[in-house]
Amino acid sequence: MKKATSTTTPTGLSARWVPVRTDDGRTRMEMRWSAPSILRRHSAA
């Protein structure tokens, strides 16, 4: 299994591949997107 790699786009979004275990015991790679903390508005509520 390869390591989780991360890339950053010019817009500041970062995408990384993470292994996800499914119910039948298989492992598949999914791409997760995350925005920089500056753009996150969750905590500003």
Whether 11 maps to a domain, the answer reads: yes
Q: pLDDT value at position 22?
A: 92
User: Residue with structure tokens 């817009």?
Assistant: 11
Whether 17 maps to a domain, the answer reads: yes
Q: pLDDT value at position 23?
A: 94
Whether 2 maps to a domain, the answer reads: no
Whether 21 maps to a domain, the answer reads: yes
Structurally, how many domains does the chain consist of? 1
Whether 28 maps to a domain, the answer reads: yes
DSSP 3: P
Q: pLDDT value at position 14?
A: 84
**Residues spanned by the domain of 25:** 7-36
Whole-model pTM: value is 0.44
Model confidence pLDDT, tens digit, residues 1-45: 556 566 777 777 788 888 999 999 999 999 988 877 665 565 555
- The contacts of residue 39 (CB under 8 Å, 6+ apart) are 12
Residue 27 and residue 1 in contact, taking contact as beta carbons nearer than 8 Å: yes
Whether 42 maps to a domain, the answer reads: no
C-alpha to C-alpha distances, 22 to 3, 9, 14, 29, nearest whole angstrom: 18, 28, 24, 10
